[in-house]
Structure 1
Amino acid sequence: LLNSGSCKYIYPVIYGNKYIVIVKTFWFTKVINGDDVDLKNNSDYSGRVEYSCIKTFCSLKIFNVRQTDSKEYRFRFITNQQGGKYTDLQVKTTVLSVTPSETVEGSKVTLTCSSDANPAAKYNIYRVNEDQHGQLVSTEIQPVFSSIQVSDSGRYYCAAGNDLGSRTSPSIDINVKYGPKNCSVSVKPSGAVEEGNPVTLTCTSDANPAANYTWYKENKIIANGSEVFHVLAVGSEHRGSYSCKAQNLHGECNSSSRFLDVLCKFSSFIFISGCISISFISGLWSQLQNHSFIECVLLIANNFHLLSISFAQQQVKLIVNQCCFLSGQFDFTEV
């Protein structure tokens, strides 16, 4: 991630019957209108250089080294005397670069290892494995991923070498981006939920970068943004099928639907035997008499629910077809 160079200089303690004092030290590569431009004031190196001077020994550190950093670096010290001297330091770098800079699954990606070397260098490109060791990927100077995959994500570096020595580049991270996959909806608590209790639905997906989420109930949008849809107190109006969509810049996916069951709370029941009128869904009127099966409207906790009622002697069995999943035996009482 960094490269460094150093310089040791000497100067006379006294010159022209005057003590020499070092006023300023700095490194530069560029000269504008005869003036040496301090690297710290050079926009190409903004925030990437660090100087250190101990007596007459000065060093330069360059962070996040780039291929464009391979050039001649000069050191200058300025004294309280007119004029001045500088010495030269040439920094050679080995750099691994990736093109394009943003890697998307399925796209073509090129790695390039470059170095200043004479005679010409041979190149090896490595991937850092789980044991933090380099695993050889290619001996080419410019290997190509024709269709890069998520499994290719990782840390890479290259080494350049000739008969005179070798240099290793700083490592780079390849982070392969991809659209959402494997979308699904989970409900907590699982199973049917009684009215008034909280319920949380969570949409999960595998995506890079992280996805944004859209929630649907019966295919109609009910919420945007978060992967979590939370209901503090569930009611009969929340019963239905829920699904979600996960989306980022590189794609989207839709989950299958999950059905949320809501159990209604029954506050009171009155069943009347004999010859009595019951209101049908259609608004018609009929009598129980000797019917063995009938669909009717029953007012339960101030909500209308469609029930199937079958009669057997002095008991009635309720099986809920809509709004709630609830069954049970209830006394059939004369009023």
Structure 2
Amino acid sequence: MDIWTAEKILLLRFSVSLPEKIEALSGSCLIIKCTFEIEKKYDQYLNESAATGMWLKDGTEEDTHQVFNSGDPKPNHFNGKITGKLHKKDCTTVFYNVSSKHNGKYYLRITSAVLKYTYTKPFSIIDVLEGSSVSLRCSAETLCSSPPPTLTWSSTPRIPLSDSSRLQELISGLNFTATHREHGVTFTCTITYQLQDKNKTAQDSITVHVQYWPKNTAVSVLPSSSVLKGSSVTLICSSDANPAVNYTWSRESEGQLKQLQTGDTLTFNRTDPTHRGWYHCTAQNQHGSQNSSISTTSQITVMSDLMILVCNQKSEIFNINIL
């Protein structure tokens, strides 16, 4: 299986829509779905007779990296054809009999009269926010394969599939609402072709990155057993979030809440009566914040002699009481 890659590009006024990656089977054909936009002032020059599309491979210098030219084909160029209408801003291209020499990164150049532009800057990838709708689409060209290929997904079975087909394309989609449970999950689509009485497969994977606000914010204490007066105590705050959170510690004493410091730990190296009070942890990122939950917390009592009392009570706020 040979892999052919292309950049997906977005510029302010010149833009092109391309797959980020295409996988093709050696000896078959490869179809590149492609559309583009140009500055409005050049629209008048983009006519059917003058418009030319070029593909440059692994570089943008026309003299050394040109591998296809719809208006001036060369013997050393790839065998192919622009099937789209350039004057309608459709640059869809087919390459025939692909092999390992086709592997690489490709750039599109459009020329027509005074217009000459190469699309070179990569498209930015944006994470998905929890609660938003996600649509993953896997497609396979059927023009170069008879019988047509089949598509299968390797993903969580609870997500329903939506399948459709067109004259030259087979499509399978996954649609779901993003939650923190999908963060880091990899979805794989496998395409199976029957070529010369043999099954050949190609697959592509995408990992979903979901951004979400803090969840399951909790506090733990070290040491987890008894604490003697004058010993050290460390409170540790943890939270599940993406992107990472900032932690803030606060102390409640005599009805007042006072911010102490930031960071995931709060340490008292030598405990004394001034440390008496309730301690809170808040986790925050750009999507929200959460206080340490009231669930399973320890109340630590520090004794001045060898009698040590450690009680477990319901609270995710730590009370350090020094007698």
What is the TM-score normalised by the length of structure 2? 0.48
Identify, as 1 or 2, the structure richer in strand: 1
Quick check: which has more Rg, 1 or 2? Answer: 1
Indicate the structure whose relative CO is greater, using CA pairs within 8 Å and at least 6 residues apart.
2
What is the TM-score normalised by the length of structure 1? 0.47
